[in-house]
Chains A and B, each alone.
Chain A
Amino acid sequence: MADGITNILVVGIGGQGVMTAAEMLARTALSQGYDVKKTEVAGMAQRGGVVSSHVRFGPKVYSPQIDPGAADLLIGFEAAEALRWQPYLRMTGVAMVNTLRLVPPVVSAGLYDYPADPITGLAATGIEVHAFDAGAIADELGNSKLVNTIMLGAISDYLPFPAEALKACIVEGFRAYKPRLADINAQAFDAGRSAGHSQ
């Protein structure tokens, strides 16, 4: 976190909620008094393509883009995507990865291979990796759409502001627009927070 700037890269596939997760982080950072910038390249991403969202916050943020090798946190909503984007992490960075494997048609068709063990591959690059099956936790809670909140819970103890601030931002959002989902998202956040300390 050089220059007081925190760099978080959220990656996954169109439709997984990558941009929403980044938005939550940006809003929370804003509520904590930071200057914030958030950017993504989406474009055609909702057609199954790669989505990456950059969140930067600190006393004053100029460029919205994170340099390769400068991210403090990498949040991977899919295992191979975390591996793809790992060069963006600094050596002391932390990767929080959902072990979900989404196999694209070009792999299914036999044109390319899916990496046998992306998590081990990530760890081999020398970074701190925390990986767990967020989908399984979501299913236990009874709603597969909770993965987003679970992932945010998982990284909440690796941020320069209190985990409770992020939780409040998420839960209040639901209370305002989808109140019946507020409690279950609070539970999902806590479950993710515990899982985020797993190895």
Chain B
Amino acid sequence: MNAMVHAKAESRHLLSGNEAVARAAWEAGVRVAAAYPGTPATEILESIAFYPDIYSEWSVNEKVAVEVAIGASLAGSRALAAMKHVGMNVASDAFMTQSLAGVVGGLVMVVADDVGLSSSQNEQDSRYWGRFGHMPILEPADSQEAYDMVKQAFVLSEEHETPVIVRMTTRVCHVKAMVTFGGERIEHRALGFQKNSQRWVMTPANAKPRLPLMHERDRVLRATSEASDFNAIVKGSDRRIGFVTSGPAFMHVRETFPNAPVFKLGFSHPAPLERIRAFAGEVDTLIVVEETEPLLEIELRAVGLDVRGKDILPRFGELAPNVLRPALKPLLGEPYEVATRHQIEVFPRPPTMCASCPHLGPYFALSHVRNLNIIGDIGCYTLGAGHPWNALDTCTCMGASLSMAHGMDKGRGESDEQKHIVAVIGDSTFLHMGMQGLLNMIYNRGNVTVLLLDNRSVGMTGGQENPGTGQDLHGLPAPRVDFAKLAEALGIRPERIRMVDPYELPTMVKLVREEIKMAEPSIIITNRPCSLTERFERFKPYTVLDDKCTGCGNCIDLGCPAISVARRQTAIAKSGKTKALVFARIDANACTGCHMCVETCAPEAIVQPLPAPTIRIQPHG
């Protein structure tokens, strides 16, 4: 990833869209870049972090990241904020007004839509934000375009004094393709903040005169889009159908219909309606292929163009060739090939928690306590909803656990009367947007038991840093928040703040049982690091002594992927009932020696084997 720092102009590289954005930002003279990790956008900031000329940071959430970028822009610096689609929702309060006020240094927001939901809680089309917030949108279709468009986005931003959205999707962010670098870094001088209260203090009186200016900017941007080289016609000999498309969908269209004319949108909002109108006249049927919402389709219909689109194409998911073909070939009266070999049914392989994951302990505890409504959050611990724990009941958005739990407590229905309300949230999600929910709950005298699973990383996105880890984006030492003090400052009584080693299963279970009975909010904070990070310490693996294992299956209930079923057996209990016995084994390659499972084993069948005696074989001769 870091090799690109020294790559020369004119050199060619195999780069992901995210890496291409980073190089472009560096060349464009960006001075400040901020983001919160989120798939598929995470690697943008991770790549930018390698470039020494850019100040870059993990911000605590996307709104903060965009505000950091806005501040830098007002000081005259070029600035970039990157986020996944749902991060845009969080950031929207900031950019919806800044779009009205405008920018000084080029301000670019790179947003990555998870089309097809490979790692998100919903599927959103971020192109709406351009319409909603009156900001232009550039839509790259591959890494080269991501590189070209990010560079151009800064020019556009400064020319029109507007934030610019670069809209990526998973198939740009995570696809590696050829990129030719056009140049090296060009520094852009920052003049410093020029005070102008009428411009930057968005009171009603100051904001109102900006409205007509913003609408005028829209008009100018549309003319710019009409003239933009990013909007281009790819000629085709078969004019029975023609396409208007943008982003990776362009690649899928070209792959599927190589001879059809295509109007390719790169500067996709405001759309070049007049040029599309002219193009429409050149083909028999014009089809709009867009991921995912029918935004352009509606705009084209509104100006009187007769187009096809979501009436024949799916409303969600990727519009890959195997989706386009069956949807569009019938239109041409052409047959399409179907893969003839049958799918053979294979078991599902859902993601699991890792061996020695510090979340295993809390979920072992939660799955052993009855009468809980467990309100969850975004992170690896969302997996607690699955097998074998079945100990998570909701997951909506970043930080929602605490406020939703509070609401459920206040809005208890008939079946909840005897229930205890528990909220589960991780360290980074808590700092992102969870603290406010906790403060709100305390202020409003709610009663929720909070499990703050502090694994000292943003686990799901690959172990990034946050204010709770003691390190920054660059791995340098950073101030570390004290969660216990923070909880106390927000108003939890010190007696109800319980620090626990999540590997100590009996203590974990006992603490949950104790705290749910309390008539006030309490917080249980775990303290083991994510087992995929460098903070985690590995020990010698454990093994199961087969002659001691009684087949109780307790260790398997832990859900550690290093433990599996060796064999099953049916036994007759003293009561005469038949009992299913499950004998366990431990995969020595996966086990890290965390000892959690030892605590589930009454017959002491799980042991660390003594090291085998070393036999030295003397070489001959």
* Given A37-B176, A105-B388, A105-B561, A65:B347 Cβ within 8 A: no
B460 to chain A, nearest CB (A): 7
* Given A35-B178, A47-B354, A104:B532 Cβ within 8 A: no
Residues of B within 8 A of A109 (CB): 387-388, 556, 565
How long is the Cα–Cα vector from A44 to B348 in the complex, in angstroms? Answer: 14
| Chain B contact residue count (CB 8 A cutoff) | 55
* Given A62-B254, A80-B346, A80-B347, A87:B341 Cβ within 8 A: yes
* Given A38-B175, A50-B349, A64-B251, A26:B14 Cβ within 8 A: yes
B541 at the interface (CB under 8 A from A): no
The answer to whether B589 and A104 touch across the interface, beta carbons within 8 angstroms, is: no
The answer to whether B351 and A39 touch across the interface, beta carbons within 8 angstroms, is: no
Looking at the complex, which one of A43, A63, A104 makes contact with B320 (CB distance below 8 Å)?
A: A63
**CB 8 Å contact bits of A104-139 with B (1 = contact, 0 = none):** 111111111111000001000111000000000000
The answer to whether A13 and B349 touch across the interface, beta carbons within 8 angstroms, is: yes
A181 at the interface (CB under 8 A from B): no
Looking at the complex, which one of B171, B177, B251, B559 makes contact with A105 (CB distance below 8 Å)?
A: B559
A197 at the interface (CB under 8 A from B): no
- B-contacting residues, A79-123, CB 8 Å: 80-81, 83-84, 86-89, 91, 103-115, 121
The answer to whether B565 and A63 touch across the interface, beta carbons within 8 angstroms, is: no
A162 at the interface (CB under 8 A from B): no
- A-contacting residues, B1-36, CB 8 Å: 14
A160 at the interface (CB under 8 A from B): no
How long is the Cα–Cα vector from A111 to B342 in the complex, in angstroms? Answer: 23
The answer to whether B344 and A121 touch across the interface, beta carbons within 8 angstroms, is: yes
Stretch at the interface among B122-130, B132-140, B332-340: B332-340
A4 at the interface (CB under 8 A from B): no
CB-based nearest A residue for B532:
A46
**CB 8 Å contact bits of B170-204 with A (1 = contact, 0 = none):** 11001111100000000000000000000000000
B546 at the interface (CB under 8 A from A): no
The answer to whether A39 and B176 touch across the interface, beta carbons within 8 angstroms, is: yes
Residues of A within 8 A of B344 (CB): 83-84, 86, 115, 121, 125
A85 to chain B, nearest CB (A): 9
A59 at the interface (CB under 8 A from B): no
Q: Helix, strand, loop or mixed for chain A's interface?
A: mixed
| Chain A contact residue count (CB 8 A cutoff) | 58
The answer to whether A125 and B341 touch across the interface, beta carbons within 8 angstroms, is: yes
A80 to chain B, nearest CB (A): 5
The answer to whether B339 and A36 touch across the interface, beta carbons within 8 angstroms, is: no
The answer to whether A45 and B339 touch across the interface, beta carbons within 8 angstroms, is: no
How long is the Cα–Cα vector from A56 to B433 in the complex, in angstroms? Answer: 41
Looking at the complex, which one of A44, A110, A126 makes contact with B460 (CB distance below 8 Å)?
A: A44
Residues of A within 8 A of B251 (CB): 62-64
The answer to whether B174 and A42 touch across the interface, beta carbons within 8 angstroms, is: yes
B322 at the interface (CB under 8 A from A): yes
Q: Which of A13, A88, A104 has the most CB of B within 10 A?
A: A104
Looking at the complex, which one of A48, A63, A68, A87 makes contact with B351 (CB distance below 8 Å)?
A: A48
A157 at the interface (CB under 8 A from B): no
Residues of B within 8 A of A104 (CB): 347, 349-350, 352, 561
How long is the Cα–Cα vector from A61 to B177 in the complex, in angstroms? Answer: 9
Residues of B within 8 A of A110 (CB): 565, 568
Contact surface of A with B, Cβ cutoff 8 Å: 13-14, 23, 26-27, 30, 35-50, 61-65, 67-70, 80-81, 83-84, 86-89, 91, 103-115, 121, 125-127, 144
Mind listing 19 A-B residue pairs with CB under 8 Å? Answer: A36-B178, A37-B142, A38-B175, A42-B118, A42-B174, A44-B118, A48-B354, A50-B349, A61-B177, A63-B320, A64-B171, A87-B343, A89-B341, A91-B341, A104-B350, A106-B348, A106-B350, A110-B565, A110-B568
Given contacts A35-B178, A64-B177, 16 further A-B contacts (CB under 8 A): A27-B14, A36-B176, A37-B177, A39-B176, A40-B174, A41-B116, A44-B351, A47-B351, A48-B561, A64-B251, A69-B338, A87-B342, A104-B352, A108-B564, A108-B565, A109-B388
